[in-house]
Structure 1
Amino acid sequence: MQKISALGLDVGSKRIGVAGCDGTGLISTGLFTIERASFEEDVAQLRELVEQREVQILVVGLPYTMDGTLGHQARKVQKFARRLGFALQLPVEYTDERLTSVEAEELIKTEKRSLSENKALIDRKAAALILQQWLDERRSPKQPFNHPSDSDSIIDC
Structure 2
Amino acid sequence: MITTDFNEFRSTIPSTGSLLGLDVGQVRVGFAISDKNRMIASAREVYTRRNIQIDTTYIQHYIQKENIVGIVSGWPLQMNGVAAESCEMVMKLLKPLEALIECPVFLQDERLSTRAVSRVLMDAGLNRKQRQAVDDKAAATYLLQGILDRL
What is the TM-score of this pair, normalised by structure 2?
A: 0.83
Counterpart AA for 1:25: R
Corresponding residue for residue 51 of structure 1: 64
Unaligned runs of 5+ in 2: 1-13
Matches within 5 A, 1:1-157: 2-138=15-151
Tell me the CA shift for residue 19 of structure 1: 0.5
* Structure 1 Cα separation of the partners of residues 56 and 133 of structure 2: 18
* Structure 2 Cα separation of the partners of residues 119 and 41 of structure 1: 23
Runs in 1 of length 4+ with deviation above 4 angstroms?
A: none
- Comparing 122-131 with 110-119, greater Cα deviation is found at 110-119
Conserved in 1, the CA contact under 8 Å of 2:26 and 2:89?
Answer: no
Unaligned runs of 5+ in 1: 139-157
Counterpart AA for 1:100: S
Counterpart AA for 1:94: L
Counterpart AA for 2:51: S
**CA deviation map 1:101-124 (0-9, x unaligned):** 211111211221112343230000
Identity %, equivalent residues: 26
If asked which structure has higher relative contact order (CA below 8 Å, sep 6+), I would say 2
* Structure 1 Cα separation of the partners of residues 15 and 114 of structure 2: 30
Counterpart AA for 2:138: K
Tell me the CA shift for residue 35 of structure 1: 0.6
SS in 1 for 2:82: coil
Q: 1:67 to 1:82 in 2, by over 3 A?
A: same
What is the TM-score of this pair, normalised by structure 1?
A: 0.80
Tell me the CA shift for residue 62 of structure 1: 0.2
Q: 1:36 to 1:113 in 2, by over 3 A?
A: same
**Cα root mean square deviation, aligned:** 1.7
Counterpart AA for 1:122: D
Task: Name the count of aligned residue pairs.
Answer: 138
Conserved in 1, the CA contact under 8 Å of 2:17 and 2:67?
Answer: no
Conserved in 2, the CA contact under 8 Å of 1:82 and 1:92?
Answer: no
Counterpart AA for 2:146: Q
